Chains A and B, each alone.
Chain A
Amino acid sequence: MKSTFDYIRAGESLERKEQPVDPLSRPSGPGNRDQGPKRPETDSPSRDNLMKRMRKVDPKQAEKYRQRTGE
Chain B
Amino acid sequence: MHNRIFGIETEYGLLIKAEQPDVSPSWIARRIIEHLFGQKKHGVIDRHYRGHDEPPGNGGFLLNAGRMYVDMGHLEYASPECHSLWDLVAVDRAGDLLLQDCLEDLGLSELVSIIKNNVDHETDATFGCHENYLVSRDFPFTYQGLGLLMPFLVTRQVFTGAGRIGRARSVEGWIGLDDIEGRGMARSRRSTEDAVIYQISQRPDYIVNDFFEWVQHNRAIVNTRDEPLADPERFRRLHLLMGDSNMAEEATLLKMGTTGLVLQLIEEGHAPEGLDFDDPVQTLRAISRDPQQQWMVTLSTGKTLSALDIQEQFWEAAAKRYAGQDEETDWVLSHWESVVKDLRKGYQAVVGRVDWASKLWLLENFREAEKLEWDDPWLKSLDLEYHNVDPQAGLYHGMVEEGHAPRFTTNDLVDLAKHHPPRNTRAFGRAEVIRHLANKPWPDLDDEHEDWQHRRIPPYVINWSVLQIRGNLVFVMADPFRTYVQESQDYCAEAASR
Say whether A and B bind each other. yes
Q: B410 contacts the other chain (Cβ, under 8 Å)?
A: yes
Q: Interface SS of chain B: helix, strand, loop or mixed?
A: mixed
Contact B377 A66 (CB under 8 A): no
Give B residues with C-beta under 8 Å from A.
11, 13-17, 19, 25, 71-74, 76, 83-87, 90, 113, 115, 120-123, 125-128, 130, 172, 215-216, 219, 241, 250, 327-328, 331, 334-335, 338-339, 342, 348-349, 351-353, 361-362, 365-366, 369, 376-378, 380-385, 393, 395, 398-399, 401-410, 412-413, 416-417, 420, 422-424, 428, 482-483, 485-486, 489
Tell me the smallest distance from the CB of B204 to a CB of chain A, in Å: 16
Closest to B18 in A: A64
List chain B residues, Cβ under 8 A from A44. Answer: 365
In the complex, the chain A residue whose C-beta lies closest to that of B215 is A71
Chain B residues whose C-beta falls within 8 Å of the C-beta of A66 in the assembled complex: 16, 25, 120, 122-123
**A41 with B74: in contact, given A54-B385, A58-B381 (CB under 8 Å)?**
no
Which of A24-71 touch B at CB < 8 Å? 27, 31-42, 44-46, 48-51, 53-54, 56-71
Check A4 against B408 for contact (C-beta < 8 Å). no
Question: For residue A4, which residues in chain B have a CB less than 8 angstroms away from its CB?
Answer: 84, 87, 422-424
CB distance from B383 to the nearest CB of A (A): 7
Q: Is the CB of A5 within 8 A of B15?
A: no
Flag if A32 contacts B11 (CB, 8 Å). no
How far does the Cβ of B408 sit from chain A's closest Cβ, in whole Å? 5
Chain A 3-25 near chain B by CB (<8 Å), digits 1 or 0: 11111110001001111110100
Q: How many Å lie between the Cα of A65 and that of B115 in the bound state?
A: 9
Chain A interface, number of residues (Cβ within 8 angstroms): 55
Least distance between A36 CB and chain B CB atoms (Å): 8
Contact B74 A70 (CB under 8 A): yes
A16 nearest CB across to chain B (Å):
4
Residue of B nearest to A44 (CB): B365
A6 and B128 contact, CB distance less than 8 A:
no
Contact B407 A31 (CB under 8 A): yes
Q: Which residue of A lies closest to B393 (CB)?
A: A53
CB pair B87–A5 under 8 Å, yes or no, is yes
Give the residues in chain A near B423, CB-CB below 8 Å.
Answer: 4-5, 7-8, 16-17, 21
- Contacts A1-B328, A3-B409, A59-B378 given; indicate if A64 touches B84 (C-beta within 8 A): no
User: Please, how many angstroms separate the alpha-carbon atoms of A63 and B377 in the complex?
Assistant: 8
What residues of A have a CB within 8 angstroms of the CB of B128 in the complex?
A: 70-71
Q: Is the CB of A71 within 8 A of B216?
A: yes
Taking a contact as CB atoms under 8 Å apart, the answer to whether A18 and B483 are in contact is: yes
On whether the beta carbons of B410 and A27 are closer than 8 Å, the reply is yes
Find out whether the CB atom of A45 lies under 8 angstroms from the CB atom of B362.
Answer: yes
Do A50 and B399 have beta carbons less than 8 Å apart? yes
Beyond A40-B404, A54-B366, A67-B127, whether A1 also contacts B331 by CB under 8 A is yes
Q: Determine whether the beta carbon of B90 is less than 8 Å from that of A69.
A: no
In the complex, what residues of A have CB within 8 A of residue B365's CB?
44-46, 51
Q: Which of B74, B84, B402, B428 contacts A45 (CB 8 A)?
A: B402
| Alpha-carbon gap, A44 to B361, bound state (A) | 8
Query: Contact at B424–A20, with CB atoms within 8 Å?
Result: yes
Complex contacts, A51 vs chain B, CB 8 Å:
365-366, 369
Contact A6 B413 (CB under 8 A): yes
With A34-B408, A57-B378, A63-B377: A3-B413 Cβ-Cβ less than 8 Å:
yes
Q: Which residues of B sit under 8 angstroms from A21, Cβ to Cβ?
A: 423-424
Question: Known: A8-B420, A57-B381. Is A70-B72 also a contact (CB below 8 A)?
Answer: yes
Knowing A60-B381, A62-B381, A71-B241, say if A49 contacts B402 (CB, 8 Å).
yes
Chain B residues with CB under 8 Å of A32's CB are 407, 410
- Please name the residue on chain B nearest to A31 by beta carbon: B407
Question: Which of B16, B74, B378 sits near A64, CB closer than 8 Å?
Answer: B16
A65 contacts B122, C-beta separation under 8 Å: yes
Complex Cα gap A63–B399 (Å):
25
- CB < 8 Å: which of A3, A58, A65, A69 contacts B86? A3
State how many angstroms separate the Cβ of B498 from the closest Cβ of chain A.
23
Please give 12 more A-B residue pairs, beta carbons under 8 A apart, in addition to A18-B486, A49-B398.
Answer: A2-B86, A17-B483, A21-B423, A32-B410, A33-B408, A34-B331, A35-B406, A40-B405, A68-B73, A70-B74, A70-B126, A71-B127
**In the complex, chain B residues whose CB is within 8 Å of the CB of A13:** 420
Of the candidates B71, B87, B483, which one forms a contact with A70 in the assembled complex, judged by CB atoms under 8 Å apart? B71
Q: Which residues of B contact A7 (CB under 8 A)?
A: 423
Nearest CB of A to B80, in Å: 11
Q: Which residues of A contact B351 (CB under 8 A)?
A: 39-40, 42
Q: Which residues does chain B contribute within 8 Å of A38, judged by CB atoms?
A: 406
Chain A residues with CB below 8 A from B335, complex form:
37
